[in-house]
Amino acid sequence: MSEYNKIYIPRDSSSLSMGAEKVAVAFQLALQSSNTNDTTIVRNGSRGLYWLEPMVEVDTPEGRVAYGPVKARDVESLVAQGMLEGKQDHPLCLGLTEEIPYLKKQQRLTFARAGVIDPVSLDDYLATDGYTGLKRAIELSPQAIVDEVKESGLRGRGGAAFPTGIKWQTVLGAQSAQKYIVCNADEGDSGTFADRLQMEADPFGLIEGMTIAGLAVGATQGYIYLREEYPHAHEILDEAIAIAEQNNYLGDNVLGSGNAFHLEVRLGAKAYICGEETALLESLEGKRGMVRPKPPIPALEGLFGQPTVVNNVLSLSTVAIILAKGADFYKDFGMGRSLGTMPFQLAGNLKYAGLVEMAFGITLRELLYDFGGGSFNGKPLRSVQAGGPLGTYMPESQWDVKMDYEEMAALGAVLGHGGIVAFDDSVDMAEQARFSMEFCVVESCGKCTPCRIGSTRGVEVIDKIRAGEDREDNIELLEELCETMVDGSLCAMGGMTPFPVQSALKYFSEDFS
């Protein structure tokens, strides 16, 4: 039995938020008292099946067997009923992990290792094809790496969906003694947690992707701009970077290739706007996170005025997969101009909230019901906000949309970073619209007037409408204000804040009367 002596207990933020640490302590005590000293506890990331967390797994000859959601008080009975031997009698047993339908139906590429490996074990990473992409990239010319990424069709997963390879081409072509790779890990959209999970479950994937990006464009320094709200991701990234440095995967001479690549995590300080790439660069430089006008684009004049690749966590992590498996493999997934897979994040009032990585083209309804299982509290779903706080509220008539960038855009909706927040029929859409404006008041950088002032006026007008004051006139005023913000704002913060408001007015007008 000696190869089957591991218990996996997740250590990602969400699992910890549901009590995984207490469960780990309880197992430690149980192992000590039952004299099963050859069994070790592995702290893995999460598979992203969050309604089952803390989900504990044990190795068996048939594969890993899962139990969840486990509370510390369940540990005694789990051990007594033979969990450590992989017996499946306990009511919390979920069977083989890989056979859980929610997971089995998914197409996990970017998240293939999430929850499978110990996130800070380089051995685990290497044993699951890790660093295959970098080793291949070292054999290729910078142009060939960029071509591979272009060929894959990968588009920026942060939300803007700009083709990653084209951005890299610009940076590769720029002449400069110093270039930078900046990872945008300021995942501020409510309803999204894929970046966090990636960093907490498979940090080497991101580190590898950034190193490949460095080789591709000739950058020797990378920064991960991480939001302060992710303390666990911070610890795990720092640990993984130190391990990569010790093993020559980062440093002055990466794997003896003659190329240098250094990596550092920098923390944000609670500012949603710093997810906008130019505000992020200002913040990295030690300034207020004020949006820069474009041009110049960051690819030519980015961090400290130098050519800079700014990519999202998922884009960079996916590059490692593309280089490992080839562009053809990756672009086989997806539809139209949205190629590959998208990690959708099911959140809000859903029974089975979690991470669903699927090829583009799955419908919103499938995500909400086949995966999400409908509402958490059993009430009918009424409204869905996709794409974060700047995304539209979608009524049920739109839920058959195929989730890809173009199909969503055709509805005026936003796919963004793939967050999906569901609301039941108790939602007050006028209150949600007010919140969108209020959020913009709190988070606007203040550089441009439509965003800075418009959001404050938006809150006021919505308050008047909700109070029944000159309702029709004020709705008209709100509509005009929204247009002004969309047309006149410098960046997506002010330019898209009206999207949820306009959609609430259009599809849920009864809530404004």
Partner 1 sequence: MSSSSPNATPSKAVAVNAAHLSAITSHIDNNAQKPGPLLPILHDIQNDIGYIPDAAISEISKRLNLSRAEVHGVVSFYHHFSTKPRGRHIIEVCCAESCQALGGRDLQKHAKDKLGLDWYQTSKDGEITLEPVYCLGNCACSPAVRVGKQILGRVDNDDFDELIEELTTVPVTLMEGR
Rule CB under 8 A: choose which of 9, 66, 427, 448 binds partner 1.
427
Rule CB under 8 A: choose which of 73, 288, 294, 506 binds partner 1.
288
Cα–Cα distance for residue pair 112/125, rounded to 1 Å: 11
Tell me the window of 76-84, 237-245, 361-369, 438-446 that interacts with partner 1 (CB under 8 A).
438-446
Strand partners, 187: none
Tell me the window of 339-347, 358-366, 453-461, 469-477 that interacts with partner 1 (CB under 8 A).
339-347
Contacts of 176 (CB under 8 A, 6+ apart): 306, 307
435 lies in the site for partner 1, by CB under 8 A: yes
Classify residue 291 by its DSSP letter: P
Tell me the window of 90-98, 313-321, 350-358, 490-498 that interacts with partner 1 (CB under 8 A).
350-358
Hey, CA dihedral for 411, 415, 420, 423, is it positive or negative?
negative
Tell me the window of 8-16, 103-111, 317-325, 359-367 that interacts with partner 1 (CB under 8 A).
8-16
22 lies in the site for partner 1, by CB under 8 A: no
17 lies in the site for partner 1, by CB under 8 A: yes
Rule CB under 8 A: choose which of 7, 10, 31, 50 binds partner 1.
50
289 lies in the site for partner 1, by CB under 8 A: yes
CB of 63 to partner 1, least distance (A): 25
285 lies in the site for partner 1, by CB under 8 A: yes
Contacts of 397 (CB under 8 A, 6+ apart): 507
Cα–Cα distance for residue pair 428/122, rounded to 1 Å: 48
Residue among 106, 88, 16 nearest 341 (CA): 106
Which one, 46 or 97, has the nearer CB to partner 1? 46
Rule CB under 8 A: choose which of 243, 347, 482, 504 binds partner 1.
347
Strand partners, 263: 222
Neighbours of 104 (CB within 10 A): 10
Contacts to partner 1 from residues 165-224, by CB under 8 A: 187-193, 195-196
CB of 90 to partner 1, least distance (A): 22
Cis peptide before 296 (omega within 30 of 0): yes
By CB atoms closer than 10 A (0-12, 13-18, 19+), residue 318 is buried
End-to-end CA, the chain: 67
432 lies in the site for partner 1, by CB under 8 A: yes
266 lies in the site for partner 1, by CB under 8 A: yes
CB of 264 to partner 1, least distance (A): 8
Cα–Cα distance for residue pair 209/147, rounded to 1 Å: 15
Contacts of 476 (CB under 8 A, 6+ apart): none
Contacts of 474 (CB under 8 A, 6+ apart): 461, 464, 465
CB of 11 to partner 1, least distance (A): 12
Residue among 204, 81, 216 nearest 142 (CA): 216
398 lies in the site for partner 1, by CB under 8 A: no
229 lies in the site for partner 1, by CB under 8 A: yes
Contacts to partner 1 from residues 111-140, by CB under 8 A: none
DSSP letters along 206-275, please? HHHHHHHHHHHHT--EEEEEE-TT-HHHHHHHHHHHHHHHHTTSSBSSGGGSS--BEEEEEE--S-GGGG
345 lies in the site for partner 1, by CB under 8 A: yes
Neighbours of 439 (CB within 10 A): 19
Cα–Cα distance for residue pair 55/170, rounded to 1 Å: 44
Which one, 287 or 506, has the nearer CB to partner 1? 287
378 lies in the site for partner 1, by CB under 8 A: no
Cα–Cα distance for residue pair 187/224, rounded to 1 Å: 12
CB of 349 to partner 1, least distance (A): 4
Which one, 53 or 511, has the nearer CB to partner 1? 53
CB of 197 to partner 1, least distance (A): 8
Between the CA of residue 205 and those of 122, 174, 226, 314, 491, what are the distances in Å? 11, 27, 16, 9, 30
Strand order, beta sheet including 6-8: 40-42, 6-8, 56-60, 63-67, 93-96
* Strand-strand pairing, 354-359 and 334-335: unpaired
232 lies in the site for partner 1, by CB under 8 A: yes
269 lies in the site for partner 1, by CB under 8 A: yes
Q: Which residue has the tokens 């960093």?
A: 199
311 lies in the site for partner 1, by CB under 8 A: no
16 lies in the site for partner 1, by CB under 8 A: yes
Tell me the window of 71-79, 163-171, 203-211, 262-270 that interacts with partner 1 (CB under 8 A).
262-270
419 lies in the site for partner 1, by CB under 8 A: yes
CB of 13 to partner 1, least distance (A): 5
Which one, 148 or 195, has the nearer CB to partner 1? 195
Residue among 226, 469, 470, 276 nearest 389 (CA): 276
Which one, 130 or 419, has the nearer CB to partner 1? 419
CB of 133 to partner 1, least distance (A): 26
Binding site for partner 1 (CB under 8 A): 13-14, 16-18, 48, 50-51, 53, 187-193, 195-196, 228-232, 266-272, 283-289, 304, 345-349, 353-355, 376-377, 385, 389, 419, 421-424, 427, 432, 435, 439, 442-443, 445
